Structure 1
Amino acid sequence: MRPAYPKFADTLTHRDVLGAVMNLGLERAKIGDILCQKNDYYLFCKENMADYLTESLQKIKHTLVTVNEVDSPQDSIQPEFIEKSGIISSNRLDSIVACLIGCSRNEAVKLIQSGKVYANGLEILHNTYTCKEGDVLSVRSHGKYIFDSLAGETKKGRQKIKYRIYS
């Protein structure tokens, strides 16, 4: 999908697109990822939902949009990432989530126990989960991340990590 009149369009975010789709009365489980790239927005959904979305979704925020079905999205669409690094005390899930979203470990534990943290698409409810390189971590309302690698150790014995954020 893209703005019908790009010159007068608002800059739309993932949250704006998701809100417009949810406002159509769809369940979140019926749609997949949403990729935002400049003035192009890609919404992955089941094939039987595509017709409904192309007919029903006409406006996001204050921007009129045109929705088209893409035949083979795997070839042309690649997510963009922002590479970052951080320092953690261990590679337990609570420590990594705290580093990724910039909160305390206690707040990270609350997010995990409330069912808002997913590792490789599976809901994780225990903070003792040990993250492995290549894990895709998703924290509701905060974003989606790829835990790339342990990148060494600090002088105090803490671990340096590298990760990517879906932008």
Structure 2
Amino acid sequence: MNTGLKREKFGDISVNDDSFSFACTKEAETFVRMSLEQVGKASVAFEQVETLNLENEQWHEIQSLVSSMRLDSVIAALYGLSRSKAAEAIEKGIVKVNWRSVDNTAFRVNVGDYLSVRGSGRGKVLSQEGVTKKDKIRLLLGRKQ
């Protein structure tokens, strides 16, 4: 990242057993191809694909109870934060839902949405597994392993 390119030019990184993929804009592609020759002691070879395959990702499953499907509540459950710390992160603009920045703490999250907090990794709402007697929502959340 010490090349002068802005962070917004790069997206997710997908790590596989023998390779990794990352997303970047068209403008950054040429520069990356020309300047990135090795990572550590490993040589780098590029292959262009249109989309990252995120379907085969392994998720560490977390069962949680939330009071509502508000973004601050789900982020707090997923990353083990207090709801006020989650709201603070959302207002700072470091939270994304489906790869788009969201700054509204009351944003409604749906099953299947990808969530990320910069510096904390990616997560996903895997399923909604019902409601408790006290009207709490039982969620199955996933964090990237």
TM band (smaller chain): 0.7 to 0.9
Native 8 Å contact 2:89 2:95 kept in 1: yes
Q: Identify the match of residue 44 of structure 2 among 48, 54, 67.
A: 67
Q: Which amino acid aligns with 2:144?
A: Y
| Contact persistence 2:22–2:52 (CA under 8 A) | no
Give the residue type in structure 1 aligned to 2:57. Answer: E
2:121 corresponds to which residue? 143
CA-atom RMSD in angstroms:
2.4
Q: 1:143 to 1:127 in 2, by over 3 A?
A: same
Name the SS for the 1:130 alignment partner: coil
1:80 matched to which residue of 2? 57
Q: Kindly, what percent of the aligned residue pairs are identical?
A: 30
**1:42 counterpart (21, 28, 51):** 21
Pairs aligned (count): 144
- Residues 79/139 of structure 1: CA separation in 2 closer, same or farther (3 Å cut): farther
**How far apart in 2 are the matches of 1:77 and 1:125?**
25
Alignment map for 1:114-125 (pairs within 5 Å): 114-125=92-103
CA distance in 2, matches of 1:115, 1:146: 18
Out of 87, 94, 97, the residue aligned to residue 109 of structure 1 is 87
State TM-score, norm by structure 1: 0.72
Whichever residue aligns with residue 8 of structure 2, its letter is: A
1:32 aligns with 2:11: yes
Task: State the 1:75 CA deviation.
Answer: 8.7
Give the unaligned 5+ runs of structure 2.
Answer: none
TM, length-normalised to structure 2:
0.82
Query: What is the CA deviation profile of residues 30-57 of structure 1, one whole-angstrom value per residue up to 9, with x for unaligned ones?
Result: 2222112234221222345334323322
> CA offsets per residue over residues 127-163 of structure 1, 9 Å max, x none?
1111122222121111122213221123443211012
Cα pair distance change 1:133/1:76, threshold 3 Å: closer
The answer to which structure has the higher helix fraction is 1
Partners of 1:69 and 1:58 lie apart in 2 by 10
